[in-house]
Structure 1
Amino acid sequence: MTFNPNARIDQNRVRTSGGAGKKMAVGGGGIGALIVLAIILLTGGDPSQVPGLTDPGGVPAGSGSGPDISHCVSGQDANRDINCRIVLTAQSLDQIWADQLPAAGLQYQPPGVTLFTSAVTTACGNATSAVGPFYCPADQTTYFDTSFFDVLSSRFGASTGPLAQQYVVAHEFGHHIQNMLGNLERSRTDPRGPESGAVRVELQADCYAGIWAHHADKTPMPGEMEPFLLPLTEQDIADALSAASAVGDDRIQEAAAGRVTPESWTHGSSEQRQRWFSRGYQTGDIGACDTFTAAEL
């Protein structure tokens, strides 16, 4: 995936935040549990629902300096720098969803985007980098510490290609779309199991990420003749599918515990996550992403 080098980055689209000296503890039994929890939350868990995520008595997160994006100016910068890539991906997502949501009877309201290092304070609680990228519905903001993409690649074998990273950003924006549509709550009322509301929510967000990929290299930038992205290649899509596979519940459980327990699933299998991303990418249609009435996930 390559951004159009003429694309202009709006640095005001994101907020940056640094971690405090003290990191909040994430609940779990040992480093293996921490890794599993981090990946489970990577694609959209609500941090306020995780025991031990917040530390009311600790130093507030976000008091230090965040990532430097002062050099993020153009698509060329986004092609070589991960933080710049997140900013321009957010701009592309804004454009696509502003075009697509009216068909669902809604006007798009952009989510907040925060780039942080170490730890951050949110309306859902204080979170560390161990949580990974997430969406907080209480403040309608997506949060990204880009160092976590290294964990996704090194520990779970996801591609390091740009679209693998952008898939995660697009998935988090998908949770914001679900929040606007009133579907995000279904993950709370039916939180686990192979056909649970939680799994259906996550697979729909994967499908929404695919919708973005379908349109992002075809829709002209606002006021321009060219799109944000140059035409996607087969390798780009393979990178995104690699990331979707890496965050499948079955793959995570096998890597962490050596066995798969579908009754505890919250996000769906690797195969399911790839399938629903592909459905969104192939159709570009929000109506094709109704995981809640799908007879087969």
Structure 2
Amino acid sequence: MTKPPLDILLCAPRGFCAGVVRAIDAVEKALAIHGAPVYVRHEIVHNKYVVESLRRKGAVFVRELDEIPDTEAPVIFSAHGVPKSVPEAAAARNFLAIDATCPLVTKVHREAQVHYKRGRRIILIGHAGHPEVVGTMGQLPEGVVTLVETVADVLALEPAEPDNLAFVTQTTLSVDDTQEVVDALKGRFPSIAGPHKEDICYATTNRQGAVKRVAPQVDAMIVVGSPNSSNSQRLREVAEREGCGLVRLILRAEDIDWSLFGNLRSLGVTAGASAPEVLVEEIIDAFAARYAVTVESVSTADESVFFPLPRELREQAAE
């Protein structure tokens, strides 16, 4: 039988960002220098495929440092950042600690610390329990940072010093949702201080921009990524908001529910910042087995950002 035609619009940019590349490279470089095992606190990035690939190479993932035996092996902190208590605990045990926190997350940490030194109380816009939020709040003493997720949270705020506030944001949020919360903060607290440059990272912004372009043009959209990936979930939400009737967040081709994708003429495909391109290709190949596929790339931004490896690994490689 003749395959039905299917036009695939492939979002660009998509997939790995510079911070994710740096974090994965940090684990692989540590393995190359020191051999296995290399311990990693939490998932280095939120993608099961990536984590399992690194595990096969000798990375050992733990939730907390107390799961690690006394060792001379490297201990790597994930791209999401960690509270100050974590490197302090690592130093107390003489671990060879390597911080793979994304530099754009570190920027948010520094902003919060500067505001605190200037005597301000800090509002953090983010998702409760996300590792990045836990790490950012953990840069400062307990009670200094207040987390808000929604406009309703902002309206419920009763700060002790309403004229002495600052805000920072998680880097992987929805650009539109975050702007609504920022507008609400500025409306309630006109003197609130904010970042000089947007905290939401370039990769999150660019990937959401590409989805906004593609989603209204297609019958369905697939976001390649893991369910626990914040930026991937935000891409799904953006596609839905832009009017695409069928949007699914999918990790692997084997996860596709083909009963949902029966009568397509057009499909949009993007990938979260922690999803490797091999998974995008796998999903396109799965559709190509069932449809006569044509693929068109829809580009909305050029990316050339590069972050060097963590200093500890650069020094070790030089030695």
TM-score with structure 1 setting the length: 0.26
Work out which structure has the larger RCO, using CA pairs closer than 8 Å and 6 or more positions apart in sequence: 2
TM-score with structure 2 setting the length: 0.24
